[in-house]
Structure 1
Amino acid sequence: MSVTSTPVSHASSDVGQKSKIAGANATLLFILAYLTADGLYRLATIGVAAALGIPGVWHFSAIRFRLADAEWWRTAVVAVYGAGPLACLALAGGAAWWFWQRARFKRGLFKQYLLWLTLHGLNLFFGALVADTFTQNGFWYVPSWLFLAGNIVNVALAFIFGLVLPVLGYLAAPLFLQSHDSRTLMRYEHRRRLLLTTLLAPWLLGSVILCLAKYPDLSVNERLHLSTLLLALLPLALACSNELFEFTIEAPQKTRLAWGLAVLMALLLGAGRVVLGHGLTFG
């Protein structure tokens, strides 16, 4: 009995170990990609505001403008609050193109980074309007001031965006399946484990880490932005669970913990807290 059970036990242990390592790496990439997309979002916003002579303070989790409500004008509102989401939409398109044209046949974790960049970029455009409509600030100001047609139009547009994001998440399934090197985890029999450890768990754990790192400055909008990403992830998981594809590149990279990414994540979060903890003035 022990002779026949040993190989099975060893194989199960190997899958479990690879799942933990792959999940840890995916969490690191989730956070790094989010910091990239969110950083671009805020830099684009600040760049446009500074160009228009609008002063403000960049905090770790929010940008607060030093301009009275009566001093804003229509073009400024649309330009400033639309710059970040548009930059992230462009980032998502560029990351998806790079993944599909150049990265998917190469080994390594960069493919997963591009995948998360694509998902975060899409979410910080489509998901941001959904989230910001609840709080009636941020990206919500753009349709509000662009159409000047009342909040019904804003809510309707947010509803449409909320439908588009799951569709895009569903269509992103091929990117997810081709972003992994592990032959073991790519077997269809391990699909549920793959989705749990490298997609859903990284979203949950990564979001918790980001929230803790930014506490107590964490804004309601940022919490909602992290939550709306599920609108893309759940359809993506559904699409992957029904897809029989289980191949990877010919010479995949071995599954090992990316300590360098862990150090980079810690440095970025630490630097952000030090530099932006008391606010960075611009304009």
Structure 2
Amino acid sequence: MSAPAPVVSSGTSSKTAITALNSTIIYVLAYMLAQGSYQLATVAMARRLSIPGVWRLSSIQFRITDPEWWRSAVLAVYGIGPTVCALLAVGAGLWFWHRARQRKGLFKLFLLWLTLHSANLVLGALVADTFLENWAWYIPSWLFLAGNIPNVILAVVAGLLQLVLGYFAAIGFLQSHDSITLMQYHNRRQLILVGILVPWVVGSLLLAALKWPELSRNEALHFLVMGLLLGPMAVKSAQELFEFTIPEPKRTQLALGLLVLAGLVGLGWRLVLGAGVTF
């Protein structure tokens, strides 16, 4: 005789759907803040050095030829974005760990995704851009002036650091959710599905649609290498027996305000950068 199939209550299904939607909204918002900070810092540095260009939906195009670049300009322009994102990752991570993770609400989840996105724009971008031999790849190229071997070594190290960071981020991921039901260990697969896989896949597709048809190869690869963080985080979360949440957690409900905010930010991004902003 076969074992009876587990019963999934409508309440659990509702919480699962809402968690997936909220997580995707926050994933998109956190990415746009991290990516926007990266690109804004790059444009500001280029303007400071009188390097003209155009800021588009998914890329920044500089209007000077290769011979017109000089070493300090390359390091400054291409290095400021990763520097800003590194500071964002550290700041958001510390804020999450020391202040937000023991409080109810979605802000701690936003801080977690902001940390991960910012880290990916430093470490993951180095992996992806080394493959394409542009953007972050220019930094070690012009810093060491020693051929492509140091670049590849740094990219491998960055990829390994992504894996390690994702592994240790698992406990933070679990502490970023308030739902008592989804935090129970027998619901862990559901939590990983709606809290990691759905935001990554659906959020990346939404962001790609926002940038279409100008989605750059760099940004598309950045979406993919996010998996170097999220894969280990999912595996470790599945193994972790931790299933507690904060006392009196906030009730799971759709974050309508964040949904509207994400829509407005996306619309503004499209309207402002759709035709390109010249600097």
Query: TM-score of the superposition, structure 2-length normalised?
Result: 0.97
* Deviations 1:217-266, CA, capped at 9 Å, x for gaps: 11000000111100000001111111100011101111111111111111
The answer to whether residue 118 in structure 2 is matched with residue 121 in structure 1 is yes
Match in the other structure for 1:226: 223
- SS of aligned partner of 1:129: helix
* Aligned partner letter, 1:16: S
After superposition, where does 1:28-107 map in structure 2 within 5 Å? 28-107=25-104
- Please give the alpha-carbon distance, in whole angstroms, between the structure 1 residues aligned to 2:210 and 2:39: 17
- Please give the alpha-carbon distance, in whole angstroms, between the structure 2 residues aligned to 1:216 and 1:255: 36
- SS of aligned partner of 1:61: coil
- Work out which of the residue numbers 230, 236, 250 in structure 2 matches 1:253: 250
Structure 2 unaligned spans of 5+: none
Match in the other structure for 2:16: 19
* Aligned partner letter, 1:86: T
- Provide the aligned length of Structure 1 versus Structure 2: 275
- Please give the alpha-carbon distance, in whole angstroms, between the structure 2 residues aligned to 1:232 and 1:116: 11
- Please give the alpha-carbon distance, in whole angstroms, between the structure 1 residues aligned to 2:177 and 2:154: 35
- SS of aligned partner of 2:54: strand
* Aligned partner letter, 1:35: M
* Aligned partner letter, 1:212: A
Q: CA deviation at 1:15?
A: 1.2
- Please give the alpha-carbon distance, in whole angstroms, between the structure 2 residues aligned to 1:44 and 1:139: 14
Instruction: List structure 1 runs of 4+ shifted beyond 3 angstroms.
Output: none
- Please give the alpha-carbon distance, in whole angstroms, between the structure 1 residues aligned to 2:264 and 2:11: 31
The answer to whether residue 279 in structure 2 is matched with residue 264 in structure 1 is no
Q: CA deviation at 1:131?
A: 0.5
Q: CA deviation at 1:16?
A: 1.4
Q: CA deviation at 1:158?
A: 0.5
- Please give the alpha-carbon distance, in whole angstroms, between the structure 2 residues aligned to 1:177 and 1:158: 29
Q: CA deviation at 1:27?
A: 0.2
Structure 1 unaligned spans of 5+: none
- SS of aligned partner of 1:184: helix
Query: TM-score of the superposition, structure 1-length normalised?
Result: 0.95
Match in the other structure for 2:177: 180
Q: Percent identity?
A: 55
Q: CA deviation at 1:274?
A: 0.7
- Please give the alpha-carbon distance, in whole angstroms, between the structure 1 residues aligned to 2:98 and 2:44: 30
